[in-house]
Amino acid sequence: MKKLFLLLSFFTFTPGLLVAAIMLYGYFGYAHSSGLVFPLIGHITPAKKVAYAALPTAADTITTTVGETDSRTLRLESFLRRYHSPLAPFAQVFVREADKNKLDYRLLVAIGMQESTLCKTEMPGTHNCWGYGIHGGQVVTFDNYEDAIITVSKSLGVHYVSQGLITPEQIGPVYNPTNTNNWIQNVSSFMDQI
């Protein structure tokens, strides 16, 4: 019996309370917008109309910029830094020149690792980390590493890639005919590490 009484009371009073709340809400909304005075509350002044009040003010916002970096550049830079190579700042140049000359972006770095341990054993002052043009008594020198990267990449593109020589297995017999097997194996391994 008690449960029935509670159930009937709920369904009787709830709709009435909802209607009263809606009417009161409407009345206060009208009173607020017209600036009426209420005896217990006092004078209500209309508030400034603010759309999207939950948004932070300009002073509270944080701005960031997202830069785009080729992941190949990051991979080369990481590899070069791991071996403490002076070529690390030129990772982007390697990628740019590889794209320009249709080379695998890892190839020139891998050849540099094979030929001079990434410039650690280059002939002093030559900036030639690739054994490029060094045979007999001849030594090719460059003004700086960037010029060397540009020149060697262009040479590989013109003299190897244009002839269909793309992989270390294809390039090795021409680039280093005296020690081809070791050269191919090592260059391929370094490319895999990158």
Q: Is the backbone of residue 120 left (phi > 0), alpha (psi -120 to 50) or beta?
A: alpha
Cβ-contact 186, 114 below 8 angstroms: yes
Q: For the segment 35-94, what is each residue's pLDDT rounded down to a tens digit?
A: 555 555 555 555 556 555 566 666 666 666 666 668 999 999 999 999 999 999 999 999
Q: Where are the domains of the chain?
A: 10-58, 71-193
Mean pLDDT of the chain: 83
Please tell me the distance from the alpha carbon of residue 12 to that of residue 45, in angstroms, as a whole number: 37
Percent of the chain having pLDDT more than 90? Answer: 52
Q: Which CATH architecture has domain 71-193?
A: Orthogonal Bundle (1.10)
Mean pLDDT, rounded, for 95-102: 95
DSSP letter (8 states) at residue 74: H
- Paired with 135 in beta bridges are 138
Please tell me the distance from the alpha carbon of residue 110 to that of residue 103, in angstroms, as a whole number: 12
